Structure 1
Amino acid sequence: MGRQIKLLIVYARFGDGHLQAATALSDSFARLGIAEAQIVDLLAQSHPLLNEVSKFVYRKSYDMFPHLYGWVYETTRDMKASSPFAHFLHSFGADELLKLIELERPDAIIHTFPSLALPLITTRLGRRIPMFNVVTDFDLHMRWVHPQVDKYYVATDDLRLQLNKLGIGDNRIKATGIPLRRSFAEQLSLSEREAVAARYGLTPDQPIVLLMAGAYGNFANLRNLCGKLSVQKNIQTIVVCGHNRSVQSELHRRFAMHANVTVLGYVDRIDELMRLAACIVTKPGGLTMSEAIEARLPIFLLRPVPGQERNNALYLQRQGAAFISRSIEELFQAILRLLRDSHHRLAMCRALERLSKESASDRIALDITNQLHIMEEASVPLIRG
């Protein structure tokens, strides 16, 4: 293509992972100088009220009725793209997407969230636009799968094999890993580690347990685990509370006299803390799991909720990269075992290394560009299985 390639990347704000993946891809296309990518929250742009209601229901069902959310997820997991329910789900935003395409004239559509409205408007467009899906979990839901997807980019070779079993050829799948911010590809030197540790008031030669406050069912769980870790004088604990100011304030108050407990709000460079830490306690979202894998950071999970997060957790536990706990005491003992047993820690780190797919965002960007060049030269659509 002699001109600059134009792309639309479709995401949704059901959690931050889809946006983070979209942003990472957009940055890769721009930094590599190979395409101009615009990211769009299609549901928010087309149905703002419905989007806010949907996010509210999603959060509440996820937090208050997790088994209901899990039941819906598993019930629809094997739905076909031709089913009425799939057609209904993908129909939201179709008119807005048509307007965007007519205005922006993109060369392709990339999805980091499975809002596949494009096939529904192909006839109205009068032309076919290539479509690429970047799956942002370690679990495959059939909402991602459609005959008109030109290529899938997935987290693992196991997901590639799952797509193979659905009749999708290897030429339409690439196991790249999930796209992450470029900072996760950067290693810290010894001097950089010392500088980062000093910035947060940490000692780099003592183990650091990184706790993400959103990983717990309630504040009592977080407080109890912090309490257990705080009396371990040779262990440092750092808690990242994000935008939850009330939790941050309460933890500050409770652990102000414990020099080995550091409480933070939102952290932009979470990759630096991951590089310093000995392990992480978090929720098993696809992006967070990928970040931990890239940082070779053993993962601890507390009662993951049913749905894609529990399936992510179960997959990573089977691979030896994560440990699922049913109680705070079991979680605490598992962390102590990791910190005290070098062989166990080495085994988990090797499992993380086996799962690692470095520079996923750049490799996806380059491959999509290459696919578009091939398609333009052939002047025919890719053959679909």
Structure 2
Amino acid sequence: MPPNSPAAYPAALMVSAAFGGGHRQASAAVAQALAARLEGRIQLDEVDAVDMLSPLERALIVGVYDFWLRHWPAAYHAFYRWTDSANEPVAVLNTFNWLGQAGFRHELRQRQPGLVVNTFPTTVALADTVRRRQRLDFLNVLVLTDYRVHHHWARPQADLILLPTEATRQEMLAWGMDPGRLTVTGLPVSAEVTRLSGLDASRRQAEMLQALGWTEMPEAPIILVSGGSGVYRGFDEVIGTLGNLGTRAEVLVVAGPKAPCTEMVGGARVHHLGYRQDFPVLLAGAALLIGKAGGMTVAEATALGIPLIVYQPIPGQEEHNARHLLKQGAALWPRTRAELRRAALNLLDPGVRAQMAQSSRVLGVPDAASRAAEVLLTRLGWEA
């Protein structure tokens, strides 16, 4: 057991990737939990895998990904399906063993971590490559940030894989993964989400009002729309539909394409809030959430028991995340604008909304980050 001095524990390196915000949020949640358990007696460093790419690699990979999501989602879906196979071309699979290796090698040699926590699937393979070639010694961990296991997440290079559900553990086993390396913890959410999950509705609403600078709750239920950092293809349809419900609606838009302002769209008062650090507070106080189905969005909504309407999710993993919610009655997934309108009107009914909120809470794991930290410390033999 390491002594209880500030430098007692080897450093932990948290590796995420700037492909959406969920990977970094999960990484930060685990880091928060480790820091809380070890009371500051560990150095926690965070790196973005994108920053470790060469300029040419970054332009190619990030550029193509961004283009696909904005303009050609069918191409992304085709790539997702093509690579989701045990027969995936070796040339594609092995690319991730070296892409960004120079930058990663520098980080690992400089920091000499005892623990590397990856929340992006390809970096766990890269970490293993550097570990073997540089003869380094650390626990190489992968945290799954979606609710279905794509082939790229089934990484034998990981010493330990932390999973959101028992269903994903079974999927990992189907890919041939070692059961001794698999642990179900839930998808880690921030300490703020964990705190909010313990508050009753009145206290949540009070905190939301304070965050918005409002003095009282509006009469209409508050609908939160996640704008997907300006790349949400369904955004305009969602806002237009909410303005055409035939009843008043109060809509909060976070990370949408417009600068902060308030506008009337039909019968909806739409508050464009821009990017907000206090998104969990807004989510906890809202009546329902409308948007895509990123893994972290699903994890936070279920931890807080908030019903979700999924509309135009990213093809591939977000569709699987949506099915995870649908199976348990925690979301609606309308495919057309007319279906979206019916879904929104349905969930404006307090009784229907309460039932779906309960289904959402059943799926939630508010203490997933704490569970993950406990598993890591136990595996490492470090005592909190």
What interval of TM-score do these two structures reach, taking the shorter chain for normalisation? 0.7 to 0.9
Unaligned 5+ segments in structure 2 are 3-7
Preserved CA contact (<8 Å) 1:284 1:309? yes
| Of 34, 40, 47, the match for 1:40 | 47
Distance 1:272 1:238, change over 3 A: same
Q: Percent identical across equivalent pairs?
A: 26
Runs of 4+ in 1 over 4 A off after TM superposition: 257-260
Preserved CA contact (<8 Å) 1:238 1:261? yes
Structure 1 residues 350-369: aligned runs within 5 Å: 350-369=358-377
Q: Could you say which residue in structure 2 is the equivalent of 1:323?
A: 332
Aligned residues: 367
TM-score (norm 2): 0.86
- Match status 1:20 vs 2:32: no
Q: Could you say which residue in structure 2 is the equivalent of 1:194?
A: 206
Q: Could you say which residue in structure 1 is the equivalent of 2:247?
A: 232
Q: Could you say which residue in structure 1 is the equivalent of 2:282?
A: 273
Q: Could you say which residue in structure 1 is the equivalent of 2:166?
A: 157
RMSD (Å) for aligned C-alpha atoms? 2.7
Alignment deviations for residues 258-284 of structure 1 (CA, whole Å, 9 cap, x no partner)? 684433222211111111111100111
Shift of 1:192: 5.4
Shift of 1:147: 2.2
Structure 1 residues 135-284: aligned runs within 5 Å: 135-187=144-196, 188-189=199-200, 190-191=202-203, 193-197=205-209, 199-200=211-212, 201=214, 203=217, 206-214=220-228, 216-217=232-233, 220-229=236-245, 231-233=246-248, 235-240=249-254, 242=255, 244-246=257-259, 248-249=260-261, 252-255=262-265, 260-284=269-293
2-structure distance, mates of 1:260, 1:177: 36
| Of 31, 36, 56, the match for 1:31 | 36
1-structure distance, mates of 2:207, 2:373: 33
Structure 1 residues 265-304: aligned runs within 5 Å: 265-304=274-313
TM-score (norm 1): 0.86
Alignment deviations for residues 77-96 of structure 1 (CA, whole Å, 9 cap, x no partner)? 12479933211123112232
Q: Could you say which residue in structure 2 is the equivalent of 1:379?
A: none
Preserved CA contact (<8 Å) 2:251 2:268? no
Alignment deviations for residues 173-212 of structure 1 (CA, whole Å, 9 cap, x no partner)? 2221212111101133535523532653351675221112
**One-letter identity of the residue aligned with 1:109:** V
Preserved CA contact (<8 Å) 2:14 2:44? yes
2-structure distance, mates of 1:268, 1:355: 25
Q: Give the secondary-structure state (helix, strand or coil) at the position aligned to 1:39.
A: strand
Choose 7-16 or 127-136, whichever is displaced more: 127-136
Choose 300-309 or 31-40, whichever is displaced more: 31-40
Preserved CA contact (<8 Å) 2:154 2:177? no
2-structure distance, mates of 1:152, 1:68: 29
Q: Could you say which residue in structure 2 is the equivalent of 1:380?
A: none
Unaligned 5+ segments in structure 1 are 377-385
1-structure distance, mates of 2:87, 2:102: 23
Preserved CA contact (<8 Å) 1:67 1:305? no
